[in-house]
Amino acid sequence: MLNANSAAPAAPTPQNILDTATRLRWEVSGGVHESLVEAIYTDAARIADRAVIYPDKPPRFNLDRAIDQIVTSRLFGFPLMLLLFTLVFWLTISGANVPSDLLGRFFLDTIHPLLKSASAAIGLPWWLDGLLIDGIYLATAWVVSVMLPPMAIFFPLFTLLEDFGYLPRVAFNLDNIFKKSGAHGKQALSMMMGFGCNAAGVVATRVIDSPRERLIAIITNNFALCNGRWPTQILIASLFIGALVPAYIGGLISALAVVGVATLGVLLSFAVSWSLSRTVLRGEASTFSLELPPYRPPRFWQTIYTSLIDRTLYVLWRAIVFAAPAGAIIWLTANIQVGGISIAEHIINALNPVGWLLGLNGVILLAYIVAIPANEIVIPTMLMMTVLITGVNGGAGAGVMFQGNDAQTMSMLQAGGWTLLTAVNLMLFSLIHNPCSTTIYTIYKETGSAKWTAVSALLPLIMGFVVTFLVAQVWRLVAGM
């Protein structure tokens, strides 16, 4: 043994050992870490050489390479990507319509009256009945029926692509664009996931193994227009923007408006990534590597099962946990009266001036405050509150969320004083505002940092205020001339 201290009778203390290690560290030529890694790989290569018998001639046709040559080719790479993702989104949107509708009718038109009559039969006091059934139950039912079907389609499709090995190629194809904004190519994947649900998108950033780029991806994920916000966009666009043009192209124009908002979100996330990587995140460590795993035929049922369990139900459960108390609060604000009018009306009146500055109104702001838990309930909450303060016909009673057909909705909103500006700014604000509480909570869990959670929540909110404010003033300036 070469131990210099072996003559000492007592065993070396931990401090002795550490000191020895510190001294010896500098005696290893070429650095300990590199010598070690080199030694391991040398042994690995020797063992592998002995164990692996390579074919005499490399096989003529290599399927992996052939697929790679197509999916990363200059000619087909991008169009193929576009095609695949369009297909995924189309399947999600068109496939979710029917079950969403069914679930909605089941929960709202069948179960809800049943519950109401049951509570009447057992003689629940009106306030408990309202709080539990009109508040908590309705909000939860709403979130489930809007959220579950698209997620149950989107996540498995996405996971299949992931399992097959295609998604790393997407990151590979797009990395250069993300690199220019200081981000990682894999952010494309978490963004895509964000179109389904931002909370899932934030979890998906785990694949980014570089700390700086991962934080960027987490903070900017909110700019991917999530599933909970699509319905708001589509409704407002078809009511207000589609109505600007003749009916036969109304659908097309309103669809373009929604796509425009989503595109704006993507551009914003590049811009924010760029500025974050150059300012507050400058000091975070950054390493890049992108492994392109071999293609594997996806295991269909396995994938569907695990993606339903791991992603869909996980996200849904969190949304429900947050939506239930929101339902209670919505019902309470609409039903507790102070000085003759409800709390909701008090808040709306207080928020109206701010709403006016932002080109919105108090109802929208209040809806966004109580709908922090889930963007899905923004529209029903807004409609309920509009009915509450305007007293127009329709609605289902104070604190009871509802959604009617387009014509009814339009007339209610117009009674509430909505203009084209309100609609445009609502679309913008729906894109650029704080993430929902599920996402905020997920960000906190993922980063473990209150600071980055606050940044992710407040940055988009402030941006949303600035953007809607500027649009409102410029709009009024131009309209006033």
Partner 1 sequence: MTNKIEEPTVIPLQTPSGHACETCPAHRAGNLVRLGIDMTDWDYVIALAGNPNTGKSTIFNALTGLRQHTGNWPGKTVSRAEGGYSYGDHRYKLVDLPGTYSLLSTSLDEEVARNFILFGQPDVTIIVADATRLERNLNLVLQVLEITDRAVLALNLVDEAKRHGLKVDDRSLARDLGIPVVPMAARRREGMPELLEAVHEVATGKVVCKPHRIKSEPPTLKKAVSELVAQLTASFPTLPNPRWVAMRLLDGDQQIMEALQRGELGDLTRDDPGQTTGHLELQLEASHA
Partner 2 sequence: MNEPAILLIISLVCIGVALWLFWPDRGLFWRWQRARQMTERVLIEDALKHMYAYEEQGRHPTLESLAGALRTSDDTIANLLTAMQERELITLTAGNASLTTRGRDYALHIIRAHRLWESYLASKTGYDAADWHSQSEWREHELSPTDTNALAAELGHPRFDPHGDPIPTAEGEIVDRQDQQQLAQLRLNQPARIVHLEDEPQTVYAQLLAEGLHLGMQIIVIERTEQRIRFWGDGEEHVLAPLLANNVSVTPIQRDEVESGPFHSLDSLVRGESAQVTRISPRLQGAERRRLLDLGILPGTEIKAEMVSPSGDPTAYRVRGALIGLRKEQAAMIQIRSQDAPYEDAPHQGASPKDDYDEAAFVHAQNGEVSAAKKGELA
Residues lying near partner 1 in the complex (CB under 8 A) are found at: 1-6, 11-18, 20-21, 24-25, 27-30, 32-33, 35-48, 50-55, 58-59, 62, 165, 206, 209, 280, 283, 291, 293-294, 296, 299, 302, 309-310, 445-446, 448, 451
Q: Which of 162, 175, 345, 446 binds partner 2 (CB under 8 A)?
A: 175
Q: Provide, rounded to whole angstroms, the least separation between the CB of residue 355 and partner 2.
A: 14
Q: Which of 12, 67, 68, 111 binds partner 2 (CB under 8 A)?
A: 68
Q: Which of 50, 57, 60, 65 binds partner 2 (CB under 8 A)?
A: 65
Rounded Cα distance, 381 and 376, in Å = 9
DSSP 94-126: HHHHHHHHHHHIIIIIIIHHHHHHHHHHHT--H
Secondary structure of 59-98 in HEC code, one letter for each residue: CCCCHHHHHHHHHCCCCCHHHHHHHHHHHHHHHHHHHHHH
Q: Whose Cβ is closer to partner 2: residue 56's or residue 291's?
A: 291
Q: Provide, rounded to whole angstroms, the least separation between the CB of residue 144 and partner 2.
A: 40
Query: For partner 2, what does the binding mask look like between residues 440 and 469, x meaning CB under 8 A?
Result: --------------------------x--x
- Contact present, 457 and 267 (Cβ < 8 Å): no
Residues sharing a CB contact under 8 Å with residue 72, sequence separation 6 or more, in sequence order? 169, 172, 173
Rounded Cα distance, 90 and 70, in Å = 23
Residues in 347-386 at the binding interface with partner 2, rule: CB under 8 A: 357
Q: Provide, rounded to whole angstroms, the least separation between the CB of residue 298 and partner 1.
A: 11
Token output for 242: 């589609």
The one-letter amino acid code at 266 reads: V
Give the angle subtended at the CA of 341 by the CAs of 339 and 346, to the nearest 5°. Answer: 95
Size of site (CB under 8 A) for partner 2? 53
Q: Whose Cβ is closer to partner 2: residue 14's or residue 340's?
A: 14
Rounded Cα distance, 272 and 462, in Å = 13
Q: Whose Cβ is closer to partner 1: residue 38's or residue 109's?
A: 38
| Among partner 2, partner 1, none, partner that 9 touches (CB below 5 to 8 angstroms by kind) | none
Q: Provide, rounded to whole angstroms, the least separation between the CB of residue 304 and partner 1.
A: 13
- Contact region with partner 2 (CB under 8 A), list: 4-12, 35-43, 189-197, 236-244: 35-43
Residue of 425, 419, 418, 422 lying closest to 466 (CA atoms): 425
- The residue to which tokens 């780029």 are assigned: 213
Q: Which of 15, 117, 289, 405 binds partner 2 (CB under 8 A)?
A: 289
Q: Provide, rounded to whole angstroms, the least separation between the CB of residue 477 and partner 2.
A: 4
Question: Under DSSP, is residue 431 helix (H, G, I), strand (E, B) or coil?
Answer: helix
Q: Whose Cβ is closer to partner 1: residue 54's or residue 248's?
A: 54
Classify residue 186 by its DSSP letter.
T
Torsion of CA 234, 235, 240, 243, to 10 degrees: 80
| Among partner 2, partner 1, none, partner that 3 touches (CB below 5 to 8 angstroms by kind) | partner 1
Residues of this chain that bind partner 2 (CB under 8 A): 22, 25-26, 33-34, 37-38, 41, 45, 65, 68-69, 72-74, 77-78, 171-177, 179, 185, 212, 279-280, 282-294, 357, 466, 469-470, 472-477, 480
